[in-house]
């Protein structure tokens, strides 16, 4: 049975905003699923419907085969949630919050162990509202882990975390998933999802615009490539456009640029041009996963999607790309 299944799940706010638009989603048990999309894509609204914090306008959502609206209490017993922007605004210490989380879940976890796991045991005696944002995020994550839930729902979990905190959270997530926990993980940061998720769903303006494994997305991303050849003299354009897998050719001075729908055509382009004009430099640029994400989402609401390291294209030679 899937851990999460939605069928035509829709949420409208008033007459103007369709926050989630006919979402069909199936998340299998033990999966780490990345729910990706720019600001306002509908990720939190989807999560809020799964948790029955808000009600759908149409469609349905099931968690562990139980209806998210009718059986919300039974569902909550099996899940751990890290909501977006969890706030600690009263006088309890980190330790007291953790003890409270363990107690209300009826769990037998040792609060000290959970505090240790998320790296705030040393500060557990301090009032949590005085914690830094990252420390509060660690505490909220630890509280979500209490009672070893079957499903972890994490809304923008790395908010406020430093690189060490992000790495550590990833390793805890992987450990839990290896133990059978399903992880549903929302983010607008592609690299974050890429590092930890088995499968990714990309939301844009309330709709699921892509769903695949990271590998699958990568394969689609490598479907297009651009090659730039710097020649000693003006290269001939004719003949290059006729190569199978080349969709366009542009010549500017001594530089020839070819766009290839099939990346394997790049070699033929080099051979053809080099037979007529000496090629002195080659720049090859595969469409990156990042660009693919931007194609799906129109570049994000504020173009605020971060680049994953090493995903800005590949050069065929060792020199730095010119701007
Ligand atoms: N309570 C609400 N009333 C009116 N509109 C809302 C409400 N909650 C969300 N929306 C709208 O629904 C759309 C989706 O918002 P949502 O918070 O689900 O996006 P998100 O993908 O989680 O974005 P972010 O990455 O910024 O958290 C946005 O246009 C938002 O303004």
**Structural domains of the chain in order of their starting residue, each with its CATH number:** 4-218 (3.40.50.300), 223-286 (3.30.70)
pLDDT band at 284 (very low <50, low <70, confident <90, very high): confident
The residue to which tokens 């851990």 are assigned: 3
How far away, in angstroms, is 46 Cα from ligand 1 center?
Answer: 9
Query: What average pLDDT does this structure show over 184-193?
Result: 82
Across the range 216-230, mean pLDDT stands at 76
Mention every residue, 6+ apart, whose C-beta is less than 8 A from residue 249.
Answer: 237, 240, 241, 256, 257, 258, 259
Reported pTM: 0.75
How far away, in angstroms, is 45 Cα from ligand 1 center? Answer: 6
Query: For a substitution probing ligand 1, which of 42, 192, 207 has the most ligand atoms within 8 Å of its CB?
Result: 42
Which of 69, 66, 62, 64 has the alpha carbon at shortest distance from 5? 62
pLDDT tops 80 at residue 285: no
Kindly tell me if the per-residue pLDDT of 308 is higher than 60. no
Q: pLDDT digits over 53-110, tens only?
A: 999 999 999 999 999 999 999 999 999 999 887 788 778 999 999 999 999 999 999 9
Q: What is the mean pLDDT of residues 204-232?
A: 82
Side-chain-side CA neighbours of 104 within 13 Å: the count stands at 13
Percentage, residues of the chain above pLDDT 90:
57
**Which atom of ligand 1 sits closest to the CA of residue 47?**
18
Q: Return the residue whose CA atom lies nearest to atom 11 of ligand 1.
A: 19
Residue 288 burial (10 A CB sphere; 0-12, 13-18, 19+)? buried
Residues lining ligand 1, CB < 6 A? Answer: 13, 17, 19, 37, 39-45, 84, 188
What tokens appear for 251 in the block?
């010549």
Q: Which one is predicted more confidently, 225 or 153?
A: 153
CA of 185 to the centre of ligand 1 (A): 17
SS3 content of the chain, % helix, strand, coil (to 5): 30, 30, 40
Q: How many CA atoms lie within 13 A of 304 on its CB side?
A: 10
The DSSP call for residue 56 is -
pLDDT of residue 193 exceeding 50, the answer is yes
CA of 39 to the centre of ligand 1 (A): 8
Triad 57, 61, 64: Cα angle to 5°? 165
Residue identifier of the C-alpha nearest atom 28 of ligand 1: 40
User: So what's the pLDDT on residue 214?
Assistant: 78
Question: Whose Cα sits closest to atom 25 in ligand 1?
Answer: 39
At residue 290, the pLDDT reads 67
| Mean per-residue pLDDT over the chain, rounded | 85
Q: Which residue has the least CA distance to atom 1 on ligand 1?
A: 13
Residue nearest to atom 6 of ligand 1 (CA): 13
Q: What is the ipTM of this complex?
A: 0.97
Ligand 1 atom with minimal separation from the 42 CA: 18
pLDDT at 36 over 70: yes
44 C-alpha vs ligand 1 centroid, how far in Å? 7
**Predicted local confidence at residue 288, as pLDDT:** 63
Nearest CA to ligand 1 atom 18: 42
Nearest CA, atom 31, ligand 1: 40
Q: Is the pLDDT of residue 317 over 80?
A: no
Tell me, in angstroms, the distance from the centre of ligand 1 to residue 295's CA: 21
Distance 50 CA to ligand 1 centre (A): 15
Mutate to test the pocket of ligand 1, among 35, 40, 47 (most ligand atoms within 8 A of CB): 40
The protein residue with its alpha carbon nearest to ligand 1, atom 17, reads 44
Q: Check residue 223 and give its pLDDT.
A: 64
The alpha-helical segments, DSSP class H, found in the chain are 43-50, 72-76, 94-104, 111-117, 133-145, 163-178, 190-196, 214-221, 265-274, 289-297
CA-proximal residue: ligand 1, atom 26 (nearest): 39
Two structure tokens written together for 185:
């993980």
């Amino acid at each position: 049975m899937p851990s999460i299944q939605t069928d035509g799940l829709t949420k409208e706010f008033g007459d103007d905003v369709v926050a989630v638009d006919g979402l069909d989603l199936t998340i299998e048990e033990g999966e780490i699923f990345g729910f990706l999309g720019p600001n306002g894509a509908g990720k939190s609204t989807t999560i809020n419907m799964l948790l029955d914090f808000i009600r759908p306008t149409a469609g349905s959502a099931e968690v562990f085969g139980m209806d998210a609206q009718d059986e919300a209490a039974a569902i909550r017993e099996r899940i751990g949630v890290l909501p977006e922007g969890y706030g600690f605004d009263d006088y309890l210490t980190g330790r007291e919050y953790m003890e409270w989380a363990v107690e209300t879940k009826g769990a037998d976890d040792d609060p000290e162990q959970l505090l240790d796991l998320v790296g705030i045991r040393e500060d557990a005696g301090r009032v949590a509202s005085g914690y830094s944002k990252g420390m509060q995020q660690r505490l909220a994550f630890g509280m979500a882990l209490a009672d070893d839930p079957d499903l972890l729902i994490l809304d923008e979990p790395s908010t406020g975390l430093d690189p060490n905190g992000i790495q550590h959270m990833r390793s805890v997530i992987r450990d839990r998933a290896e133990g059978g926990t399903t992880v549903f993980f929302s983010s607008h940061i592609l690299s974050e999802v890429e590092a930890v998720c088995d499968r990714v769903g990309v939301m844009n303006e309330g709709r699921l615009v892509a769903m695949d494994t990271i590998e699958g997305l990568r394969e689609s991303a490598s479907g297009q490539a651009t090659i730039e050849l710097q020649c000693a003299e003006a290269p001939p354009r004719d003949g290059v456009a006729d190569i199978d897998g080349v969709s366009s050719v542009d010549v500017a001075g001594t530089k020839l640029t070819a766009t290839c729908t099939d990346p394997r055509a790049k070699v033929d382009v080099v051979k053809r041009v080099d037979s007529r004009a000496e090629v002195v430099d080659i720049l090859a640029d595969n469409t990156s996963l990042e660009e693919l994400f931007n194609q799906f989402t129109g570049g994000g609401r504020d173009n605020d999607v971060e680049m994953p390291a090493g995903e800005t294209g590949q050069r065929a030679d060792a020199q730095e790309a010119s701007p």
